[in-house]
Structure 1
Amino acid sequence: MSTFSMPGDAPYSYTPPLEPYLVVLHKDDEILVLAKQSGLLCVAGRPVEHSDCLESRARATFPNARIVHRLDRDTSGVIIMAMTPAAHRHLGLQFERRKIRKTYLARVWGQLAQEYGRVDLPLACHWPNRPKQMVDVDAGRPAQTDWEVVEREKNATRVRLSPLTGRSHQLRVHMLSLGHPILGDSFYATGEAFAAADRLQLHAETLTFHHPADGRICRFAVPCPF
């Protein structure tokens, strides 16, 4: 079994949740919409121990299903797969052209000073520590995230995040850049912020897109589990 170290120095092993095994929100001839669990990879990793993933589970029941976009392993929430090559191309273009709208809910450490704002900081891979990402104003790719406060807690703030771009770890790094890492984040939170939750407090709440068959606007939502 493959392991790696977490901020708390405890070894991590990949043990994806088995219940519920696969949550189908919607299925038609063109698309498959699922609710991903925290702790489950979207696609298989290189070690054989990482072969169990959302894609393999979906394709066991729906052999034609193909991944269009991904959520980080520890992020839960709504995700869409394509059922035909044409739908895959159509949805891929919507993501590329930023026509798809996504919202996330997160709990971050501390109290944000304002009620809403935008983070506009370019991101790049931190190669010595990949897959970690970092702010790189010289060589990073443009990345923008809108945020708004939903609820204030004693030591944390619940926020709604709307990514305008789709960079790897974008929401996690952008919240860190504000001095408010997402609770339970094994890559970017340390100390009390990491220990404050037993899972990454990031959830893909809604996904809005044009249906590849007829262009109608579709919106799917998954209630936040935390």
Structure 2
Amino acid sequence: MGRQADANAYVPLPVRGGVAPSYLWLTETLPGGMLRFLAGRFADVTLASWAARLQRGEVVDATGQALAADSPVRNGMRIWYYRELDEQETPIPFRERILFQDAHLLVVDKPHFLPMIPTGRFLHETLLVRLKAQLELPHLTPIHRLDRETAGVVIFSHNVQTRGTYQSMFQKRVVKKVYEALAGPIEGRDFPFTYKSRMVDGDKFFVMTEEEGEPNSETLIEVIERRGDIVRYRLHPHTGRKHQLRLHLSSLGAPILNDAFYPVALPCKGDDFSAPLQLLARAISFDDPITGQPRTFTSERTLDWTG
């Protein structure tokens, strides 16, 4: 698919219903016109859909000029369009909560099941699009990510001038993150302890696995409380690998409750919202690089002991 525009670039289409336009650079001069090109380039979008968008003037060049079905396809062109879904999205029945906003940042308490950004079959039912539509912040961008299945604190930038300063905190690993999870007991360990492993891509593109070698992931694990066979853990990730906490607890014999990926990737549950992953980004702390003020943001959500 196309790419989202850089915040400093000229964008010939406005944000619409919270959805920012996407763009595509053309790298060939091709015969047959724009409709034929678009239908061939985006196999998951129907010819009729592209024809309707062109007719509505919703595919434009870099100057904002509407393109037609027979407009030439030239190497070096940049075209702009809105991403759409051919099928209606299922509403996600959980709402985000705004924890903090200033001239630079927006801090949000994300619910389970809500994706961060448009991807695949999700567009309007994503945290970014919801917030853009609600708050009219066209330059809103997440400066770190949570999995769709994970709830909790996430930070956005909405100020282009200071975005890089805040992003650098995460790159330098000076941000402290605390998670909580519900899982079975980990046997044979004295708490707290640090678990390290070497994480690599698994045989399925959406999961990770561990292999022998120099560790590249590290998590400090504490016990908060135990009720029967379920333990509430406090997790301090010292690295930020994809699915790190989920894989680490699974490797220790205590997969997080309702984890559909670890230890075994289960069939997709589609729009079943009945069993949220019991993983919560509880808090984020850092010294604000603009003001020098210590900041801590804490989720107001709780995990479900009933599973």
TM-score normalized by the length of structure 2:
0.62
2:248 corresponds to which residue?
Answer: 174
The one of 127, 132, 137 aligned to 1:54: 127
- Counterpart amino acid of residue 135 in structure 1: E
Matches of 1:164 and 1:42 in 2, distance apart?
A: 22
- Counterpart amino acid of residue 293 in structure 2: R
| SS of residue matched to 2:259 | coil
- Counterpart amino acid of residue 113 in structure 2: G
1:19, distance to aligned residue in structure 2 (A): 4.0
| SS of residue matched to 1:121 | strand
1:35 corresponds to which residue?
Answer: 109
Q: How does 1:144-163 map to 2 (within 5 A)?
A: 144-163=218-237
1:5 corresponds to which residue?
Answer: none
- Does the 8 A contact of 1:40 with 1:74 survive in 2? yes
- Does the 8 A contact of 1:124 with 1:141 survive in 2? no
2:35 corresponds to which residue?
Answer: none
After alignment, is 149-158 or 207-216 more displaced?
207-216
Matches of 1:199 and 1:179 in 2, distance apart?
A: 20
Structure 1: gaps of 5 or more residues: 1-13, 191-196
Structure 2: gaps of 5 or more residues: 1-88, 265-273
- Does the 8 A contact of 1:76 with 1:203 survive in 2? yes
1:208 corresponds to which residue?
Answer: 285
Matches of 1:86 and 1:136 in 2, distance apart?
A: 41
TM-score normalized by the length of structure 1:
0.83
1:3 corresponds to which residue?
Answer: none
2:195 corresponds to which residue?
Answer: 119
181 and 142 in structure 1: CA distance in 2 versus 1, 3 angstrom threshold: same
Matches of 1:18 and 1:224 in 2, distance apart?
A: 15
Deviations 1:44-97 (A, max 9, x none): 1133x4442111111222222111111011110011001112332112211111
Identity of aligned residues (%): 30
- Does the 8 A contact of 1:30 with 1:213 survive in 2? no
2:53 corresponds to which residue?
Answer: none
Matches of 1:121 and 1:207 in 2, distance apart?
A: 24
1:176, distance to aligned residue in structure 2 (A): 0.9
- Counterpart amino acid of residue 214 in structure 1: T
May I ask how many residue pairs the two structures share in their alignment?
A: 204
Matches of 1:15 and 1:136 in 2, distance apart?
A: 38
Matches of 1:16 and 1:144 in 2, distance apart?
A: 36
Kindly indicate whether structure 1 or structure 2 has the higher relative contact order, using CA contacts under 8 Å at least 6 residues apart.
Answer: 1
The one of 51, 69, 85 aligned to 2:160: 85
| SS of residue matched to 2:280 | strand
- Does the 8 A contact of 2:109 with 2:300 survive in 1? no
1:107, distance to aligned residue in structure 2 (A): 0.6
The one of 298, 301, 305 aligned to 1:221: 298
- Larger Rg computed on CA atoms: 2
| SS of residue matched to 1:88 | helix
| SS of residue matched to 2:116 | coil
Matches of 1:149 and 1:204 in 2, distance apart?
A: 16
1:141, distance to aligned residue in structure 2 (A): 6.6
Q: CA RMSD in A?
A: 2.1
- Does the 8 A contact of 2:224 with 2:231 survive in 1? yes
136 and 51 in structure 1: CA distance in 2 versus 1, 3 angstrom threshold: farther
1:212, distance to aligned residue in structure 2 (A): 3.9
The answer on 1:136 being equivalent to 2:211 is: yes
1:67 corresponds to which residue?
Answer: 142
Deviations 1:141-179 (A, max 9, x none): 711000101111211211000000111000000111111
